Structure 1
Amino acid sequence: MASIYLLKPVFQKMLRPVVKLLARAGVTANVVTLTAAALSFTVGACIALWPYATWPMLLLPGFLFLRMALNAIDGMLAREYHQASASGAILNELGDVLSDAVLYLPLALVSVFNAAWMVVIVVLAVITEMAGVVAVQVGSKRRYDGPMGKSDRALVFGVLGLWLGLGGPAGCWIIYLQIAVTVLMVVTIYRRARGALAEAEST
């Protein structure tokens, strides 16, 4: 199934000049990872503190795009500028999971969302990323299968944040959207687990 993640090579090509400038300035991959996590906490805190205001929702689309860029940048710095390390890999994976949690869990406080479904989405987001990581333990590569990986979730909630932030009407369709995201994440977990096992068995 298609995923926004498939566009990553094009995105990386666009970001390469920025990566070169950061490398020359001495910025490390770990600093970029920590910056992304800190900004995620800040945006999530704004949503949690002002759940009835529309302006925090307008932060989501721009920040989620920035976060995708930062995630790509820290990986490029690590691979292309010899900054890869075990601690950096752990920090990157934990940072992604924590960032998802602090960004999306506060949406449970926003009245247009169903709180229970948002909690389910956050839990499944953690499991989805874990399914990608544990693939390495069975002899496979890190899995990024869709259809509802990290980038896909960012697209869905970024567009939704823009819609709501600009005053777009909400309704029961948001709950249906939450259910759809949940179902697609379950499919993603299955595909990542199946893909990991298939790759491990073929080696």
Structure 2
Amino acid sequence: MKNGDRRPLASRDTSWARTISQRLARTSITPNQVSQLSMVLATIAGLALWISHGAEGIGRVLLLVVAVLGMQGRLLCNLFDGMIAIESGKASPTGALWNEVPDRVSDAVILVGAGLAIGSPALGWAAAAMAILTAYARAFADSLGHRGDFGGPMAKPQRMAVLTAACIIAVFAPMWDWRDEPLWLALWVVILGGALTALLRGRRLHRHLRQQVARGSDENKDTA
């Protein structure tokens, strides 16, 4: 993986991230293992959300907190697997596989878990489908030479930010006589934002392909 193909993250350039990645690089931990851990943490988050559907009081609060920790832990794994692979020279031939598949699994289990948390699995599956669609739009663009289009407004970091915020608000929701409203709204934001993200990525790919054709025509004229 080249640096230009990586998601631009401000946290990657922070001293704490570099320190942790350097320490991890000195251990026997591999980037692929970190990617696998991201799926485990995402699954914990998804299960916590699912179980929270029938929970009340402090039990529900604790489950929502576990979900938040799982989602943020998943993002940290996504940060460190690439840093260990690139900056520390531990990249492997299967790195591209483990860089993509865990993200798709993680998105699905978290978003479906959020749907189950509010008794609306269809809404969760719809959000998961949109998350996968945005990733497909980027991967398809990569295959056609338009590499590294991680643009939003609802890319992976934004999806997790919306779900994290919804879980935190849901902890305090009973104060306003709410319960499922924050997660319900978050899923709709992910669905609509995901559709817009896929559309915008598709438009950028379309523009890129047209520019390629135009450049090819200009080059043919120059050599004629």
Tell me the TM-score normalised to structure 2 length: 0.78
Deviates more, 1:189-198 or 1:29-38: 189-198
TM-superposed CA distance for 1:64, in Å, is 1.8
**Which residue in 1 is equivalent to 2:82?**
75
SS at match of 2:169: helix
Higher gyration radius (CA):
2
CA contact (8 A) 1:97 1:126 kept: yes
Asked if 1:163 is matched to 2:164, the reply is no
State how far apart, in whole Å, the 1-side matches of 2:53 and 2:181 are. Answer: 18
Among residues 39, 45, 48, which one is paired with 2:47 in the alignment?
45
State how far apart, in whole Å, the 2-side matches of 1:10 and 1:152 are. Answer: 14
Deviations 1:127-155 (A, max 9, x none): 11111111111111132110001100101
Q: Are the structure 2 counterparts of residues 61 and 68 from structure 1 closer, same or farther at C-alpha, using a change threshold of 3 Å?
A: same
With a CA cutoff of 8 Å and minimum separation of 6, indicate the structure with the bigger relative contact order: 1
CA contact (8 A) 1:138 1:197 kept: no
TM-superposed CA distance for 1:45, in Å, is 2.4
Of all paired residues, the percent bearing the same amino acid is 23
Asked if 1:147 is matched to 2:153, the reply is yes
Deviates more, 1:41-50 or 1:96-105: 41-50
Asked if 1:186 is matched to 2:195, the reply is yes
Tell me the TM-score normalised to structure 1 length: 0.85
State how far apart, in whole Å, the 1-side matches of 2:95 and 2:63 are. Answer: 30
Q: Kindly report the root-mean-square deviation, in angstroms, between the aligned alpha carbons of the 2 structures.
A: 2.2
Q: Are the structure 2 counterparts of residues 159 and 27 from structure 1 closer, same or farther at C-alpha, using a change threshold of 3 Å?
A: same
**Which residue in 2 is equivalent to 1:97?**
104
